[in-house]
Structure 1
Amino acid sequence: MKRVIIGLSGGVDSSVAAYLLKQQGYEVIGLFMKNWHDDSVTISNECPWLDDSNDAMLVAEKLGIPFQTVDLSEQYKERIVDYMFHEYEKGRTPNPDVLCNREIKFDVFMNIALELGADYVATGHYCRKGTIQKDGKEIYQLLAGVDGNKDQSYFLCQLSQDQLAKSLFPIGELTKPEVREIATELDLVTAEKKDSQGLCFIGKVKLPDFLQQQLKPKEGVIVEIPKEQNVFNHVETEFSSEEEKLKYLSRKIDYKVDYGKIVGKHQGAHYFTKGQRKGLAVGGTAEPLFVIDTDVDENVIYTGQGKEHPGLLKKALFVTNEELHWIREDLELGLDETMEVMARIRYRQPLQKAVLHKVESGLYVEFKAYQSAITEGQFVAWYLEDELVGSGVIS
């Protein structure tokens, strides 16, 4: 019997995943990760991890599998929380869920599991794993989950071949309603439990409150930039090369306060992110205001009216070599090579047609259609049909 250690989170997905593994004849052990215990920043006075760990324990009991808790809060603080503060400070918007999978679940947690003699680590993610043979070598594929509405392959976009080799995703072939149905039939305590929101593992957190622990509030101005601003006038230029064109399409506009008018005040540019609408507290505009850029050095937030504001829309983005990652190393592009893909810049965004262009310093992703609020620090992931083959941090 192969031994599988499953991350039991106290949610319905991992509960059903554990049951399915047992049905498939694996020796299953449930492990709950405790990753956070600073309750001063959660919104409600519930203690989310305590409830979750109790639910996980009840599920393990019901399924008749051994259960234990591991405390990874130190590694979580170091690798996720500190990284987040650092990124926000730089004016970038990190994705803690993607990092959590790369750094915690499929690294720290996986290593603990392997030390406990596990052959595999399993999670309740809605995605699938494929295996193909190429040049006499086994290559692992990360495939989208069958439930298009719940597919979570994007969150695993930073996994490596080594990590995939040891991973199992038991519910990838199921839809969410099917998973709930199985949990109900088994009378699991998690059957009706709502999906967790908020930061991976921390529970419902007010982001500004959380960030304020380290990033001090600092009053600054909110500037509204009109759509007609000259800075948005596209000069029809002849580009001397494809790379020059891509550089132009992905450029970051350098806004100045006198490009628009001051419409309000804020408590810190690093609490805001591109495309954000809530929390600006500025009224009286014909269309809602959206953040089109933040300048953390000058502590200014630039905004524009409406979803179609030119400051929100871009056709290309860039990923540096340091932040470029191929799950399918065998498909990695060489210099000046291109690849037609489907890509997304955030979870749940419908896949968009795009072309990858490899240049010396990194990789451009050029979209067919304009994309809204391409945000530095977030991840772009690209697919060939339903396989996620690579990803990178938007620079």
Structure 2
Amino acid sequence: MKRVVVGLSGGVDSSVAAYLLKEQGYEVIGLFMKNWHDDSVTISNECPWLEDSNDALLVAEKLGIPFQTVDLSEQYKEKIVDYMFHEYEQGRTPNPDVLCNREIKFDVFMKIALSLGADYVATGHYCRRGIIEENGKEIYQLLAGKDGNKDQSYFLCQLSQEQLAKALFPIGELTKPEVREIASQLDLITAEKKDSQGLCFIGKVRLPEFLQQKLQPKEGIIVEIPADAPIYSEEKPNFSSEEEAFAHEARRINYLQVPGKVVGKHQGAHYFTKGQRKGLNVGGTKEALFVIETDVDKNIIYTGQGNNHPGLFKKALFIKNDEVHWIREDLALKVGEKMGVMARIRYRQPLQKATLHQFETGMYVVFNEPQSAITEGQFVAWHKDDEILGSGVIT
């Protein structure tokens, strides 16, 4: 009997994952990760970890599997929360869920599971693992979940071959309604429980308040850039190489040189992100204002009217070499190579046609169509059919 440690989160997905593994004949152990008890960073009172751990315990009792709680709050603070603050401070927008999977669930948590003699770690993610053989060597694939509505493979886009070798995703072949139906039939306490919103294992966070605990408010101006600003219709220079042309497409526009008008004030450019519409508190414009750029050094937010404002769109993005991550290491590009892929720059975005170009300095992802709100610090993931081949942090 192979031993599997399931990350029981107190939700319906991991509950059913544990049940399915038991049915398949594995020896199953339930482990709840406690990732938060830092009162210096107050979070809205809906921090449900106590209730969640209690639900996880009741599910384990019902399924007749051993259960314990592990406290990973120290590692979580260091690897996720501190990183988040640092990224926001630099004017970037991190994705804590992707990081949590790479650094906590499939690293710190996985090591604990393996120390308990586990052969595998399982989670309630809607994704699938494939195994193919090449030259006598097993290669692991990360595949989209069967439920297109719930597919969570994007959040696992930073996993490695070593991590996938030890990972199981029991509900990847099911849809959410099927998972709820199984939980109902088993009369599990989590059957009707709402999906958790917010930070991986922390619960609901109102981001500006969360950030204000560590990043001090600092009043600055909100500038509106007109859609017909000359910068958007300038003729492109002649480039001596493809790399130069892509760099031009991916560049940040220096709005200090662009005439705009001051339309309001804000409490800190580091609280805002590209494409954001809420929280600007500026009225009197014909269309809603969207953040098109933030400048944390000068503490200025640049905005434009409407979600079709040209300042929101770019055709290319850049990933530094040390941030390029291939799940399929066997397909990694060498300098000078390119590859046609489908890519997305955020969870739930429909996949977009793009080409990867690998240069000495890093990789450009060049889209067929301009993309809205490409945001530094977020992850771009690239696919062939329903397999994620790799990902990278947008620079």
Q: TM-score, normalised by structure 2?
A: 0.98
Task: Specify whether residues 105 and 277 from structure 1 end up closer, same or farther in structure 2 by C-alpha distance, changes over 3 A only.
Answer: same
1:205 aligned partner = 205
Give 1:46 deviation, angstroms: 3.8
Instruction: Show the counterpart of 1:122.
Output: 122
1:259 is displaced (CA, Å) by 1.9
Query: 1:257: how far off?
Result: 7.4
Matched residue, 2:36: 36
> Which residue matches 2:378?
378
Mapped contact 1:41–1:205 kept (Cα < 8 A):
no
The correspondence of residues 53-64 of structure 1 with structure 2, limited to 5 A, is 53-64=53-64
CA contact (8 A) 1:269 1:296 kept: yes
**C-alpha displacement of 1:238:** 2.9
Q: Distance in 2 between matches of 1:87 and 1:237?
A: 33
1:93–1:273 Cα contact (<8 Å) kept: yes
How many Å separate the matches in 2 of 1:16 and 1:146? Answer: 16
For the residues of structure 2 that align with 1:76 and 1:29, how far apart are their CA atoms?
22
Q: Deviations over 1:271-305 (max 9, x none)?
A: 00000000000011011000001000010000000
SS class of match (1:38): coil
For residues 161 and 246 of structure 1, the distance between their equivalents in structure 2, rounded to whole angstroms, comes to 30
Indicate the RMSD between aligned Cα atoms, in angstroms: 1.0
Give the whole-Å Cα distance in 1 for the aligned partners of 2:47 and 2:120: 30
| Residues 22 and 28 in structure 1, CA contact (< 8 A), matched pair in contact too | yes
Runs of 4+ in 1 over 6 A off after TM superposition: none
Alignment of 1:72-221 (within 5 A): 72-221=72-221
CA contact (8 A) 2:146 2:175 kept: yes
CA contact (8 A) 2:229 2:258 kept: no
| Alignment-derived partner of residue 394 in structure 1 | 394
How far residue 237 of structure 1 moved from its aligned partner, in angstroms, is 3.3
Write the distance in 2 (CA, Å) between the matches of 1:46 and 1:359: 46
Residues 337/170 of structure 1: CA separation in 2 closer, same or farther (3 Å cut): same
Shift of 1:239: 2.3
Deviates more, 1:244-253 or 1:4-13: 244-253
Task: State the shift of 1:16 in Å.
Answer: 0.4
Residues 5 and 31, structure 1, Cα contact 8 Å, conserved in 2: yes
Partner of 2:307: 307
* CA displacement at 1:194 relative to structure 2: 0.7
Greater Cα offset, 198-207 or 236-245: 236-245
8 Å contact from structure 1 (residues 87, 93) kept in 2: yes
SS, match of residue 21 in structure 1: helix
- Local SS of the residue matching 1:164: helix
Instruction: Tell whether the 8 Å contact from 2:47 to 2:204 is kept in structure 1 after alignment.
Output: no
TM-score by length of 1: 0.98
Distance 2:325 2:33 in 1: 26
* Change in CA separation of 1:115 and 1:58 when aligned onto 2, cut-off 3 Å: same
1:52 matched to which residue of 2?
52
2:362 matched to 1:359? no
Q: How far 1:47 moved relative to its partner? A: 3.9
Q: Is the 1:6–1:121 Cα contact (8 Å) retained in structure 2?
A: yes
Q: How does 1:205-244 map to 2 (within 5 A)?
A: 205-244=205-244
Distance 1:365 1:180, change over 3 A: same
Distance 1:90 1:29 in 2: 41
Q: Report the Cα offset of residue 168 of structure 1.
A: 0.1
Q: What SS is found at the alignment partner of 1:259?
A: coil
> What secondary structure does 1:311 align onto?
helix
Q: What secondary structure is seen at the aligned counterpart in 1 of 2:368?
A: strand
Describe the superposition over 1:186-217 as per-residue Cα deviations: whole angstroms up to 9, x where unpaired.
Answer: 11111111111111111101111111111000
Residue 337 of structure 2 is aligned to residue 345 of structure 1: no
User: Partners of 2:215 and 2:136 in 1: how far apart?
Assistant: 52
Structure 1: any 5+ residue segments left out of the alignment?
none
Q: What SS class does the counterpart of residue 9 from structure 1 fall into? A: coil
* CA apart distance, 1:258: 5.9
Secondary structure of 1:177 counterpart: helix
Q: What CA deviation, in whole Å up to 9, does each residue of 1:310-343 have, x standing for no partner?
A: 1100111000001110000000000110000000
Distance 1:210 1:27, change over 3 A: same
Measured in 2, the distance between the counterparts of 1:236 and 1:372 equals 20
